[in-house]
């Protein structure tokens, strides 16, 4: 679907990564990795907004730079911040979009995300969370074949984070996204790709089931409560310095159910 062929990117004569080759297949893919390692840059290059310093990125065979217009016809892109002119009303943005796209009914997303009341507001009068929800609705209703989302849940309140999570999981589109939201990381709906820092920055595919073993070290302010939940599912674990360490890999459906409880607690996850 999207192929990175010996891609390099440097800023101020310093390489962020070199000779990066990877293929994103159809389906849902989640890119994880520490801040500043290049996740946003990779998405921006896929969409043709950032030019690689070397190599090529192809979407269904079209070059992200040389075939810029064709790539735009295939992709819908949600950047990490900003998207719409501040003086426009959200309804005007939707009307303009409907003049050149077809397919999904945006009212479905507006109702699910509870943002109908924002249709006649100017973007500049919305809170950062409201702007983000409008951008998510706008991106998802696109009829384009591929959706790229950079940290879609930034500034979104917890209640609607969960709603957005369920909507994205249920989508049948090809989705590539970055996020720090662990609901996605623990979901069997996503193929997980981790960016690791070695001599250069490299993308390495991690099958979701294996990713669970790497990501499952959970620090929490409520270890006793989470321990009780894990015992209910007969999952073996150890507690060390307020850190829960699972000794076996649970079934993905079970893990997804466990995360509905665990995400309600303030804790960090060691990637």
Which tens digit of pLDDT belongs to each residue from 62-83? 999 999 889 988 998 998 877 7
With contact defined as beta carbons under 8 Å apart, do 39 and 52 qualify?
no
Bridge partners (DSSP) of residue 69 are none
CATH 2.30.29 for the 216-271 domain, yes or no: no
Please tell me the predicted confidence (pLDDT) of residue 217.
47
Please tell me the predicted confidence (pLDDT) of residue 265.
47
Mean pLDDT to the nearest integer, 204-233: 54
For residue 197, give Cα distances in angstroms to 17, 187, 220, 248: 9, 24, 27, 27
Cα separation, 33 vs 196, whole angstroms: 7
pTM for this model (two decimals):
0.73
Instruction: Note the pLDDT tens digit of each residue in 131-179.
Output: 999 999 888 888 788 999 999 988 888 888 888 888 888 888 899 998 8
Please tell me the predicted confidence (pLDDT) of residue 213.
43
For residue 94, give Cα distances in angstroms to 78, 105, 139, 141: 15, 11, 11, 10
Superfamily for domain range 2-212 = P-loop containing nucleotide triphosphate hydrolases (3.40.50.300)
With contact defined as beta carbons under 8 Å apart, do 240 and 187 qualify?
no
Residue 18 has pLDDT above 70, yes or no: yes
Dihedral (CA of 154, 72, 93, 162) sign? negative
Please tell me the predicted confidence (pLDDT) of residue 256.
60
Residue 47 has pLDDT above 80, yes or no: yes
- Report the b/e string of 121-147 with b at 16+ CB within 10 A: bebeebeeebbbbbbbbbbbbbebebb
Cα separation, 168 vs 163, whole angstroms: 9
Mean pLDDT value across the chain: 77
Starting at the edge strand found earlier in the chain, the sheet holding 237-240 runs: 237-240, 243-246, 218-220, 267-269
Give phi and psi for 231, each to the nearest 5.
-65, -35
Q: Are strands 174-178 and 146-150 parallel, antiparallel or unpaired?
A: parallel
Please tell me the predicted confidence (pLDDT) of residue 220.
47
Domains of the chain: which residue ranges? Answer: 2-212, 216-271
3-class SS of residue 103: coil
Instruction: Note the pLDDT tens digit of each residue in 183-213.
Output: 666 566 778 887 776 655 566 655 444 444 4
Please tell me the predicted confidence (pLDDT) of residue 94.
84
CA dihedral 172, 175, 180, 186 (to 10 degrees): 40
């Amino acid at each position: 679907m999207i192929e990175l062929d010996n891609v390099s990117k440097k800023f101020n004569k310093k390489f962020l990564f070199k000779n990066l080759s990877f293929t994103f297949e159809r389906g849902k893919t989640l890119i994880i990795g520490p801040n500043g390692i290049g996740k946003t840059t990779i998405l921006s290059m896929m969409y043709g907004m950032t030019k690689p310093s070397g190599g090529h990125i192809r979407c269904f065979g079209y070059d992200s730079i040389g075939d810029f217009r064709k790539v735009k016809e295939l992709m819908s892109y949600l950047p990490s911040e900003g998207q719409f002119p501040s003086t426009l009303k959200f309804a005007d943005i939707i009307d303009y979009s409907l003049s050149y796209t077809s397919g999904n009914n945006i009212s479905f997303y507006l109702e699910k995300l509870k943002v109908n009341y924002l249709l006649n507001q100017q973007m500049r009068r919305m809170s950062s969370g409201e702007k983000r929800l409008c951008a998510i609705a706008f991106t998802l209703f696109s009829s384009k074949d591929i959706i790229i989302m950079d940290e879609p849940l930034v500034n979104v309140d917890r209640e609607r984070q969960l709603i957005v999570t369920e909507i994205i999981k249920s989508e049948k589109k090809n989705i590539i996204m970055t996020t720090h939201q662990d609901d996605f990381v623990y979901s069997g709906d996503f193929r997980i790709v981790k960016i690791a820092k070695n001599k250069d920055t490299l993308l390495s595919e991690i099958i979701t089931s294996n990713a669970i073993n790497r990501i499952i070290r959970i620090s929490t302010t409520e270890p006793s409560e989470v321990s009780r939940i894990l015992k209910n599912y007969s999952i073996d674990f150890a507690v060390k310095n307020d850190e829960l360490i699972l000794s076996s890999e649970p079934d993905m459906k079970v893990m997804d159910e466990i995360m509905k409880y665990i995400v309600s607690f303030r804790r960090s996850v060691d990637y």
